[in-house]
A = this chain, B = another copy of it.
Amino acid sequence: MRRDVFQAIADPTRREIIQLIAHKKLNLNAIANQFDISRPAISQHIKLLEECGLITITQEGRDRYCQMEFKKLQEVAKWIEQYSIFWNKKLDALEQHLNQKDK
């Protein structure tokens, strides 16, 4: 089973879950209520998110609170950043071209 961050954020439902718990940790039902799909389906998404380190779960009585682990998102951020120099370069080239036209 592949369990990397890129795979995890590929699913739109999981991205919505991330959005939900970004500001405030929520228990599983609170999350599941926001979706049309079944609670077990959300439970499985949560399990995957935990297994790949994107969230941590803290048990409080019968509730399991899900909290974002943003540092794990930095893996993606880092991957993206290595390419940002390229799009900046392209923008710079465009800028330079436009400046030339001005002359």
Contact = CB atoms under 8 A, between A and B. Distances in A.
Interface string A64-86: 00001011011011011001101
Contacts of A22: 83, 86
Interface residues of A, number: 23
A94 B59 CA distance: 24
A6 interface: yes
Nearest to A76: B80
Nearest to A6: B10
B83 A73 contact: yes
Interface in A46-77: 68, 70-71, 73-74, 76-77
A7 interface: yes
